[in-house]
Amino acid sequence: MAEQTVIALGFFDGVHLGHGALLRRTVERARALGAQSAAFTFDRSPREFVTGETVPLLTSVEERCALMRRLYGVERVIVAPFDRAMMTMPWEDFLGDLLVARHHAVHLVAGHDFRFGHRNEGDPARLLAWCAAHGVGCDVIPAVTLRGVTVSSTHIRALVEAGDMPGAAAFLGHPYALTGTVEHGKHLGTEELVPTVNLRTEPWHILPRFGVYAVRAELSDGRVFPGVTNVGVRPTIADDDSVTVETNLIGFEGDLYGTAVRIELLRYLRPERRFDSVRTLRAQIERDIRQALDAQSLHGSEPTGSEP
């Protein structure tokens, strides 16, 4: 017999404090019922499927799953494709056929504004009534507020785009991060400035305000380094307007090409600017590094090269 589940419902972009309230309740209910804690999410934004346009997001599917497991102890994450069949599924079938029959839900947890089913006809009131009629437990979690503001992915996206990393971290409950694969750049950092890694990000990934940031970088082998990241077009050395995410890992030596790196942005240090010479730019980068190390101590980051 398949294991019974308690399922949190939502898209969970960013896995912020509001999502955390759902996930904590889910884990609590699962323990009380002797069931498996789970979260249900989609492989892409429903708006992306409907409009065909890239939707800016805070986290990838993989990072959403990792954060839910690591921060809240969710045992299983169900990632469903959002396609035409999902978009046109009646709300009753979403609950009965998909969640209960297929995924063995005995209890559901949703937020106060959760909508589901064809034309978003399912809402918290219908969810509660359906669960009561079918012997399924249900919790609807009220809005979570911080500093008088409702915690939402939309608000956090605005904070990130403004470069307010401490503000974004406060609403997320963890630092905002860019995750990607290290790719080859133009090697100007290595040859003329300081060694850097170039991060390839996805088109959907929200980028913060252009400028220089103090960061904490986690490598694929688990080591953690303080660093400085430039997000922007590098006006002193670039010959085009392509946007790059370029990070100097303080104290790191080695080759990271082709590996995944997670960059937690801790604090905005300064805007991008054009310098008169590479030498002047290098002097500024050295000052940025000193500021970044100060920021690491403020955020309680691990020592260079340590395990997370």
Catalytic residues: 246
Q: In terms of Cα–Cα distance, which of 113, 49, 123, 138 is closest to 92?
A: 123
Q: What is the CB neighbour count within 10 angstroms for residue 55?
A: 15
Q: What residue spans of the chain are helical by DSSP H? A: 17-33, 46-51, 61-72, 84-87, 91-93, 124-134, 153-161, 165-172, 188-192, 278-299
φ, ψ (nearest 5 deg) of residue 66: -65, -45
Query: H or E segment at 200?
Result: strand 197-200
How many Å apart are CA 216 and CA 263, to the nearest integer? 6
b/e map 248-261, b = 16+ CB within 10 Å: bbbebeeebeeeeb
Residue type, 179: T
Contacts of 244 (CB under 8 A, 6+ apart): 185, 198, 230, 231, 232, 233, 234, 238
Task: Provide the 3-class DSSP secondary structure of residue 307.
Answer: coil
Task: Provide the CA 252 distance to its chain's centre, in angstroms.
Answer: 25
> Which tokens go with 119?
């034309």
> Which tokens go with 272?
């991008």
138 strand-pairing partners: 108
Query: C-alpha distances in angstroms, 231 versus 169, 211, 217, 298?
Result: 18, 5, 15, 22
